[in-house]
Amino acid sequence: MTPERLARIRQMLAMRQPDLTVCLEEVHKPHNLAAIVRTADAVGVHQVHAVWPRTRIAKRKGTARGSQNWVGVNLHPDIETAVGELKAQGMQILATHLSDTAVDFRRIDYTRPTAILLGQEKQGITPQALALADQHIIIPMVGMVQSLNVSVAAAAILYEAQRQRELAGLYGRGCLLSAEEQNRILFEGGHPIFAKICQRKGLPYPQLGADGEILADEEWWQKVQMSKDAWSHLDDEDDGLL
């Protein structure tokens, strides 16, 4: 990993906003998923949430992962599970929906822990999801069309959240992620070939040094170079030393 890449990743991690996220309820078009995750990364969202029935989760994993490089995508089987997890983190749940109680999205305080709930392209947010939201929000429009593409709506709201958080100094708090999570991201971003080897062989990621160097013992390096079938011989040798 070059010093420049290490510095860039660390700068990105320092700007991450783990208490800001979006929750996508059965948003299914790949280009929308990719656009939303790209915008989430741009404003410092660390993870997004996507709701899909259990029978479809396996099918959607490839699309979600293919749309992201630096933003995690957490999949949920139903909206109750997703919102329950977000509320347990102390987040306010905002649903994009035109209702009698809806307010202009710019009137919301996004410096609070916030999850923005966005609905499926054709049907929008389900009644179950709307009932779980703390507040309905709208994006004012003065043209003939009264709805925006879901990825455009997400971008408008997320950049308002970024504006407020920047003014409040929330991008200057330093990295709020755990040391383990930071190490994972640095390893995958700085040593992608070794990360793929670890994933394929089931090896744990080693710790990284101050300069991004891999700090691993001889056994880890041997297992990186060996086939997994050959590990038993190495483990037998280790047992003989005990």
In a domain, residue 116? The reply is: yes
Where in the sequence is the domain holding 93, given as residue range(s)?
A: 17-172
pTM, two decimals, is 0.86
Task: Report the percent of the chain where pLDDT is more than 70.
Answer: 87
> Confidence band (pLDDT; 50, 70, 90) for 56?
low
In a shared domain, residues 207 and 226: yes
Q: From 172, 196, 227, give the residue that closes a domain.
A: 172
In a shared domain, residues 196 and 148: no
**Tell me, what's the pLDDT at 39?**
95
Half-sphere exposure of 145 (CA within 13 A, CB side): 3
With 70 as the cut, is the pLDDT of residue 43 above it?
yes
Q: From 149, 172, 195, give the residue that closes a domain.
A: 172
Query: What residue numbers does the annotated binding site cover?
Result: 96, 139, 148
In a shared domain, residues 221 and 126: no
> Confidence band (pLDDT; 50, 70, 90) for 231?
low
**Tell me, what's the pLDDT at 242?**
35
In a domain, residue 6? The reply is: no
Mean pLDDT within 212-221? 95
In a domain, residue 44? The reply is: yes
Q: From 143, 172, 201, give the residue that closes a domain.
A: 172
Q: 70-79, 135-144, 203-212, 233-242: which range is least confident on average? A: 233-242
Number of domains in the chain: 2
**Tell me, what's the pLDDT at 53?**
66
The DSSP code sequence of 28-91 is --HHHHHHHHHHHHHHTB-EEEEE--HHHHHHHHHHHHHT-SSSEEEEESSHHHHHHHHHHTT-
Q: What is the CATH number of the domain that holds 158?
A: 3.40.1280.10
In a shared domain, residues 189 and 208: yes
In a shared domain, residues 152 and 41: yes
In a domain, residue 3? The reply is: no
With 90 as the cut, is the pLDDT of residue 129 above it?
yes
Task: Give the integer Cα–Cα distance in Å for 24 and 85.
Answer: 14
Query: What residue numbers does the annotated binding site for S-adenosyl-L-methionine cover?
Result: 96, 139, 148
In a shared domain, residues 190 and 154: no
